[in-house]
Amino acid sequence: MKVAWAGSRETLELSDRMAKLVANDPVFEKFTRPMLGRKELFKNTLRKAAHGWKLIVDLRLTEEEAKWLRLYIDEPAYTDLHWGMFIPAIEGQGTEEQKKKWLPLAQKMKIIGCYAQTELGHGSNVQGLETTATFDPQADEFVIHSPTLTSSKWWPGGLGKASTHALVYARLIVGGEFHGVHGFIVQLRSLEDHSPLPGITVGDIGLKFGNGAYNTMDNGVLRFDHVRIPRNQMLMRVSQVTKEGKYMQSDVPRQLIYGTMVYVRQTIVVDASKALSRAVCIATRYSAVRRQFGSRNGGPETQVIDYKTQQSRLFPLLASAYAFRFVGEWLKWLYMDVKQRLEANDFSTLPEAHACTAGLKSLTTTATADGIEECRKLCGGHGYLVSSGLPELFAVYIPACTYEGDNVVLLLQVARFIVKTVSELGYKQPVGTTAYMGRVATLMQNNCAVRTAEDWLNPGAIVEAFEARAARMAVACGRQLAKFENPEEGFAELASDLVEASVAHCQLIVVSKFIEKLQQDIPGKGVKQSLEILCYVYALFLLHKHQGDFLAVGYLTPKQALLANDQLRTLYSKVRPNAIALVDSFNYTDHYLGSILGRYDGNVYPKLYEAAWEDPLNDSDVADGFHQYVQPILKQKLHSAKL
């Protein structure tokens, strides 16, 4: 099962080696992180990032090994944006000459870059960005300027204190004409003393949600006061400005820049499976340790994991972690396919890939954020302790619901694609994840044929149910939109319905990709059978949760919905014997989990007791301030009322 989760034996061995390297290095200790003040916390993060880079250089780690090392260090840092956004953007949008100049500097950490797109006043609406880049043909330079307070760059990770350079997105103005938003490489700080350069105002935006959490990251604010940069620091792979001040498109198709977006969003989906699996691992192990009620004749109390109420909340999250892992695998393939097609000037699959990655980013990050919080609740009162690992995990993860596209906005983008697909059915055959729309007549007409609970263990019956739901909701939205004279007014009015239709489409993708995974050769005794059970749990849980959709579109009868729930309860009993083995297959070290409740050895209560005494508040028996503030109250003399 560990191989199935990792994707291959080679990946398992590589990730395991990096996880142990980090776990056994005292520099990467993180249990005291939530107790540090902001300055000390940030300095500690800089120390860890520097030590990590030293290991990468000294051990001559490959790019893949370095990626796993940074993952297991498990601390948001400026390096995340440097390697995850700054470098990929230059690779995707820079000319060969620009890549030759900037990539060696970035890859050797001679410069530190961040991705400065979001502003104080604009996030999702990229075309609404206010920062300007005005070309001065006489000086052959761009003038980067922040004309308003709301044009201040706001949120970029690594910007606040660490970055020397930024990839700044600004409104390109040439000869008084606006030519869209483009990227510019701008130096922010001196490479000698790291002080801000003239015209640059830069700093950190302040404390964020959580104790340590994402406060290890220096999310920044940045303003420009007519800062000049050379013309060749505009990323010009797709669009160019000549020395004479002429704006022109290159031979490289503009659609190529979407390849970077597809790449980033597929990594977010993979990261969702990792974050959710960590929370599920903690909650599952602790649910096996914790006992409450049910003692008979003085015997042990019942393990919490044996209660159906616990199983019905926990096991769907376990199944979701695996589902997101496998759809993430498929998205990696999709990205490579799109990349190859783009290089061959084939843009036919780009709209679908964009909609697919946007929708799955939204679906998986929302479910993961909610799932982490549910796991905290599943751990009872102890889940509220920082030492459980869950509050910190939640605080670090939830920004994923907003960055790289607000989740609701992304679902509305998916909705536009779905509605367009429906409108073109008369003359254009849908492909890929929308291929089922080509059978819309059948899906609209035929209803569910399930007669027994066991019938729900038929992959074909499950896929057809999700296809019918998605198709009928999409068609219903299309018909409603047709009633509006102004399509945009209709889109705004029906936005909530359109979001629900997008969710139905995206859930179909995840379910179908999980089922496709099971059609592959999966080695290991009992591995495939265990994954099949999880697949049915995931699908039938969604069916039960959203049964209102299935009933409203007329595909299911109430009886069939009840049969699905009956089968779901049976499946929980089949997951139970292997629950611990399934989370152990994630192969996470105790260091990476960062949780006393999720310890591999199950030694929870003694370690909780020890951790309590390590809190700085327990350094003395009498707290600082007691004699000054509390004792006078205790010693006060009360006077009788004069009334």
Q: Which residues are catalytic?
A: 404
The β-bridge relationship of strands 165-174 and 113-116 is: parallel
Q: Is the dihedral of CA 90, 93, 94, 100 positive or negative?
A: positive
SS3 405: coil
SS3 387: helix
Question: For residue 475, how many C-alpha atoms fall within 13 Å in the half-sphere facing its CB?
Answer: 18
What backbone torsions phi and psi does residue 58 show, to the nearest 5 degrees?
Answer: -65, -40
Q: How far apart are CA 48 and CA 28, in angstroms?
A: 6
Q: 431: which DSSP letter?
A: -
In 164-219, DSSP assigns E strands to 165-174, 177-187, 200-204
User: Looking up tokens 């969604």, which residue turns up?
Assistant: 542
- Give the residue among 273, 422, 406, 264 at the shortest CA–CA distance from 338: 264
Tokens representing 102?
Answer: 């900037």
Classify burial at 213, counting beta carbons within 10 Å of its beta carbon; exposed 0-12, middle 13-18, buried 19 or more. buried
The answer to whether the beta carbons of residues 126 and 181 sit under 8 Å apart is: yes
- Give the residue among 375, 367, 409 at the shortest CA–CA distance from 392: 375
- Give the residue among 448, 521, 440 at the shortest CA–CA distance from 475: 440
What backbone torsions phi and psi does residue 136 show, to the nearest 5 degrees?
Answer: -110, 100
DSSP bridge pairs for 173: 134, 178
Measured at the alpha carbon of residue 167, what is the angle toward residues 163 and 171, in degrees to the nearest 5? Answer: 140
Q: How far apart are CA 473 and CA 496, in angstroms?
A: 12
Element (H, E) at 471: helix 459-481
Element (H, E) at 328: helix 308-343
> What residues have CB less than 8 Å from 506, skipping those under 6 apart?
359, 360, 362, 363, 411, 414
> What residues have CB less than 8 Å from 631, skipping those under 6 apart?
none
User: Looking up tokens 């995850």, which residue turns up?
Assistant: 84
Classify burial at 96, counting beta carbons within 10 Å of its beta carbon; exposed 0-12, middle 13-18, buried 19 or more. exposed
Q: How far is CA 195 from the centre of its chain?
A: 33
- Give the residue among 112, 181, 192, 134 at the shortest CA–CA distance from 153: 181
- Give the residue among 329, 179, 354, 174 at the shortest CA–CA distance from 256: 354
Ranges of H-type helices in 523-603: 527-545, 547-552, 558-575, 579-584, 590-593
SS3 314: helix
- Give the residue among 7, 22, 15 at the shortest CA–CA distance from 55: 22
Please give the order of strands across the beta sheet that includes 200-204.
Answer: 153-154, 220-224, 200-204
User: Looking up tokens 């089949």, which residue turns up?
Assistant: 574
The answer to whether the beta carbons of residues 147 and 132 sit under 8 Å apart is: yes
